[in-house]
Amino acid sequence: MRALRASGVLVTRPQLALDALARMAATLCGTRIGSINILDDADQTSVASVGWDEAGLPTVMPRADSVCQFVLAAPHHLTEIPDLRSDPRTAALPVSGGDQRFYAGAAVTSDSGTAALGAVCVVDTETRVLTPGQREGLRDIATVATTLIEQHGLAQRLVGVADRLGEQADTDPSPACTTGGPWNRSWPTCPRGRPWRWSTSTGSRT
């Protein structure tokens, strides 16, 4: 959850780029639906997709009802379910009661790979099996999605730091610290973090 909060993807996200990756996944695998789904402890949220809304799939659903939960359970392996209705993991899920039959998903992880955030997945109304090239391509798209989300999270954190520094500057207008007495080389900076300046007129730090 800490990695998910750090990514900031459930609050703001690089929408155009993620939408493009969802379309690429669907085109690569020849499916009606491509989606990038992020999961927290309670829910799954579709943050980018093609064909998802048209299929009547909810943007937010309980994690327990999602197929992507099985990707997060084995994030280092592509999850492929040729027939959602016959697989014991998914037969009772709401998605299996509709038109959707096929699912494949690759994990979107934190940059270190230690935490799974969600999945790039493809869904279709017909049962099928992906080719080796399609599986590899889906993993590659998930890797790109991971990089985009991590870079977005870093950018958001940098913006937050800049905002806080700006607020501190607004409330602390004094240009420098001042003090008298002889130079002490054990104090290279003043308490406010600014370099000391030596005054030749007074013979002290300012």
> For residue range 111-130, what is the model confidence (pLDDT) as tens digits?
666 688 999 999 999 999 99
- Residue in this structure with the two tokens 């579709």, named with its chain if needed: 46
pLDDT at residue 88 tops 60: yes
Which residues lie below 8 Å from residue 159, measured CB to CB, with a gap of 6+?
none
121 vs 200, residue with greater confidence:
121
At residue 90, the pLDDT reads 97
At residue 122, the pLDDT reads 98
Please tell me the least confidently modeled range out of 53-67, 109-123, 127-141, 179-193. 179-193
Strand, helix or coil at 161?
Answer: helix
119 vs 165, residue with greater confidence:
119
Structure tokens at 93: 């899920």
- Mean pLDDT, range 58-76, rounded to an integer: 95
For 2-158, CATH number out of 3.30.450.40, 3.40.50.2300, 3.10.20.340, 3.40.50.300 equals 3.30.450.40
Structure tokens at 142: 């998930």
Confidence of residue 153 (pLDDT cuts 50, 70, 90): low
Strand, helix or coil at 138?
Answer: helix
- Locate the DSSP E strands across 29-130: 33-39, 43-50, 60-62, 79-81, 102-109, 116-124
pLDDT at residue 57 tops 80: yes
Distance (Å, whole) CA 109 – CA 123: 20
Q: How many residues does the chain have?
A: 206
First to last CA, the chain: 47
Average confidence score pLDDT of the chain: 79
**In percent, how much of the chain has pLDDT > 70?**
65
Q: Where in the chain is the domain with CATH 3.30.450.40?
A: 2-158
Distance (Å, whole) CA 36 – CA 48: 5
Strand, helix or coil at 117?
Answer: strand
At residue 16, the pLDDT reads 83
pLDDT at residue 196 tops 90: no
Structure tokens at 182: 């002889």
- pTM: predicted TM-score of the whole model, two decimal places: 0.70
Strand, helix or coil at 28?
Answer: helix
